């Protein structure tokens, strides 16, 4: 990548839920974009997107489309990334990939800028953006680990349908309307589009996100477990996850239990440690019913933490509640933050 002050930036999957947010996030921090390359499937080529008030034509995502691109933000599914990321790198781009294609590749750094910004420099052309539910959790875990040590994490998630894309958002709307009218809901997308069975998500909870692995965990659960260890550079950390899809549109919430290395830490100590973390906002005042919710966090870039409690039996144990917009910090904003750090580190 040539170190100019203005960059040629491609967004691959620009018509998707995350792609659209990537444009918003680039705009929101006035990222130095000299030329935008909005890329998508052949079907969308020729349509237009609006960026910084101007209409830009969508081009087909194919190898030649990356000629002249400095930074390519990918969010068009793992198969597109596997097919095109190296083509982009070969043409001189740095790829920031928001799919699971390269996350566990030892040659690819997996980055949350508040946690392991130094890993950005180790890239060989590709930097991976972690899974949405992992990102918001590690932003809360890192300050705890730094200040008190961290031995164990058990998380149960409350994840919105937008994590499955725009089709799932529409499905929740359609099913909700049908059920409120006393009609049978149509089920085509959730829990996993490619799986044989689909169940209603409207007024329901589905304990399956992504396909099942042989060990009975879902791939989403294994992403949370493996990615957390990699981002925190802490392979010995004990992590367990249960991931559940729920009928709300945006933001993921998480009920997190941690065991730290000390048994003399108070709720206030933990609140203070979290409050000092960049990108994290403490919303924890039970006297005023202050705690984050998916609706209260929607459209915001930060990670919100509340409901901090000390375990009543284990003096090193704490419980808390983490919420963040899965399309922003969980995807588009984290990717754009990586791009921002990347150009800062090169200057």
Catalytic residues: 132, 252
* 235 contacts its own copies (rule: CB under 8 A): no
Quick one: CA dihedral 255, 207, 326, 239, positive or negative? positive
Task: Report in angstroms how near the CB of residue 143 gets to its own copies at its nearest.
Answer: 19
Q: How many CA atoms lie within 13 A of 333 on its CB side?
A: 20
Residue 100 contacts by C-beta under 8 Å, 6 or more apart in sequence?
78, 131, 219, 223
The whole-angstrom separation of Cα 240 and Cα 248 is 24
**Site for its own copies (CB under 8 A): which residue of 86, 300, 309, 341?**
309
- Residue 119-148 contact track with its own copies, rule CB under 8 A, x = bound: ------------------------------
Site for its own copies in 279-298 (CB under 8 A): 286-289, 291, 293-296
Beta-ladder partners of 55: 50
Cα 301 to Cα 214: distance, rounded to the nearest angstrom? 35
Of the candidate residues 60, 212, 219, 340, the single one contacting its own copies (CB under 8 A): 212
Per-residue binding letters, 150-189, with its own copies (x by CB under 8 A): --x-x-x-x-------------xx--xx--x---------
- CB 303, CB 140: distance < 8 Å: yes
State the nearest-atom distance from the C-beta of 139 to its own copies, in Å. 18
Count the helix, strand and coil residues of the chain and give each as a percent rounded to the nearest 5: 35, 25, 40
Q: How many CB atoms sit inside 10 A of residue 192's CB?
A: 20
Q: Which residues are at the interface with its own copies (CB under 8 A)?
A: 152, 154, 156, 158, 172-173, 176-177, 180, 191, 195-197, 199-200, 203-208, 212, 215-217, 225, 238-240, 242, 244, 246-249, 253, 255, 257, 267, 286-289, 291, 293-296, 306-314, 317, 319, 321
């Amino acid at each position: 990548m040539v170190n100019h002050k203005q960059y040629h930036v491609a967004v691959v999957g620009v018509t998707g839920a995350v792609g659209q947010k990537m444009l918003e996030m680039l705009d929101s921090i006035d990222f130095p974009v000299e030329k935008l390359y909005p890329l998508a499937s052949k079907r969308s080529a020729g349509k237009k997107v609006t960026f910084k008030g101007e209409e830009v034509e969508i081009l087909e995502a194919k190898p030649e489309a990356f000629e002249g691109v400095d930074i390519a933000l990918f969010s068009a599914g793992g198969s597109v990334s596997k097919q095109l990321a190296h083509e982009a790198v070969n043409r001189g781009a740095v790829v920031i990939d928001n799919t699971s294609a390269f996350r566990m590749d030892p040659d690819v750094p997996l980055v949350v800028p508040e946690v392991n910004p130094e890993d950005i420099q180790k890239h060989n052309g590709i930097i991976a953006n972690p899974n949405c539910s992992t990102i918001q959790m590690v932003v809360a875990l890192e300050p705890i680990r730094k200040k008190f040590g961290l031995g164990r994490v058990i998380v149960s998630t409350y994840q919105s349908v937008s994590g499955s894309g725009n089709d799932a958002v529409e499905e929740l709307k359609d099913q909700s309307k049908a059920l409120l009218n006393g009609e049978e809901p149509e089920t085509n997308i959730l829990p996993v589009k490619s799986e044989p069975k689909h169940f209603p998500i409207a007024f329901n909870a589905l304990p399956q996100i992504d396909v099942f692995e042989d060990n009975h965990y879902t791939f989403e659960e294994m992403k949370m477990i493996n990615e957390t260890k990699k981002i925190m550079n802490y392979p010995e950390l004990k992590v367990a996850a249960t991931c559940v899809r729920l009928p709300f549109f945006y933001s993921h919430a998480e009920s997190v239990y941690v065991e730290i290395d000390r048994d003399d830490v108070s709720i206030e100590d933990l609140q203070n440690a979290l409050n000092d973390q960049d990108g994290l906002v403490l919303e924890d005042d039970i006297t005023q019913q202050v705690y984050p919710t998916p609706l209260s966090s929607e459209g915001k870039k930060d990670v919100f933490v509340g409901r901090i409690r000390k375990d009543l039996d284990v003096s090193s144990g704490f419980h808390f509640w983490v919420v963040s917009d899965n399309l922003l910090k969980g995807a588009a904003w984290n990717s754009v933050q990586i791009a921002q750090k990347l150009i800062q580190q090169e200057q």
